[in-house]
Amino acid sequence: MPSNSPIGRIVLTKKEIALGVGGTALALGGLRANDPYILSAALFISWAAFVFLFFVHRGPVARRVVGASIVSLCFALVGSRLYWVSHRIDPRDKIVAQRLHVIISHGMLAVQGLISEDERRVLGGIYPDMPGTNYPDPKLLDSIIGKLRKTNFLGKSDTEQNHIPLTWVGSFHKDLVKVHAQSQEIVTQFNQQDGRLIELAEQISNSSNNLGVIFQTVDVTELRTSYYANGLPEQPAEFFRYYFLILMKTHRVIREFGVED
């Protein structure tokens, strides 16, 4: 029965109601997703459902076109807002990322004197996490860890302190202490910033501290001569593998916050 309203009464079929409810549920569900790909897909399908609803609805063409245009505009505004928020970098997050960049340089400084140019490029590369893990492929570091296993850590390094050459043990220990202090400072001062950055800072702090304790112990015990003169033992070498993997992941993550080499 026609309505007295000049624009007529809007009557939806059950299928059209189901389409509208489904589109609304998809949009609301997508907004709760943390994954940007899921969010984008949900909003697109929801938009398409509403546009299709206006297309199949039996009503004046002009009204359907206006309705579809309004819905499309709303989805475009929501999408633009979400894109802007997701790509906006908090200035304090960028400060943290810049500090992490400095830490990465310090963390990889001592090993530079032991490895080849190709191995340096491996450490400085950008790699995705292996499926099912939180870090790049550990095998990327096989060659570097192999050199650490063969290096006499009690020999003189290319680093000096007060014009006195340090052993490799001393050189690594000095850098590890610095990395631990700098990463712990981030955790303490910026613990309200982006969770990924703070978590990586915590991992760097813990890993560098563990390695620092190992080298400090080596430097003051009688075991040093027999234990490290022929290379790094397996357990500390694997600690280094984990340490370098954290630094490599951090190198990748900080690029998302506008920090380049």
How much helix, strand and coil, in percent to the nearest 5, is found in the chain? 70, 5, 25
Look at residue 222 in the predicted model and tell me its pLDDT.
Answer: 46
Sequence spans of domains, the chain: 14-87, 91-257
CA diameter of the chain = 100
- Tell me the β-bridge partners of 236: none
* Tens digits of residue pLDDT in 217-245: 655 444 455 567 778 888 889 999 999 99
* Tens digits of residue pLDDT in 117-175: 999 999 999 999 999 899 999 999 999 999 999 988 888 888 888 888 888 888 898 99
User: Can you read off the two tokens belonging to residue 144?
Assistant: 């570097």
pLDDT band at 22 (very low <50, low <70, confident <90, very high): low
What does the alpha-carbon distance between residue 104 and residue 131 come to, in Å, rounded to a whole number?
A: 24
Look at residue 2 in the predicted model and tell me its pLDDT.
Answer: 45
What does the alpha-carbon distance between residue 61 and residue 114 come to, in Å, rounded to a whole number?
A: 74
Look at residue 178 in the predicted model and tell me its pLDDT.
Answer: 94
Q: Scanning the structure block, which residue is given the tokens 């063969």? A: 150
The 3-state DSSP class for residue 161 equals strand
186 has pLDDT over 80: yes
Task: Count CB-CB contacts under 10 A for residue 36.
Answer: 12
Q: Is the Cβ–Cβ distance between 187 and 198 less than 8 Å? A: yes
- Which H, E and C letters describe 210-255, residue by residue? HHHHHHHHHHHCCCHHHHHCCCCCHHHHHHHHHHHHHHHHHHHHHH
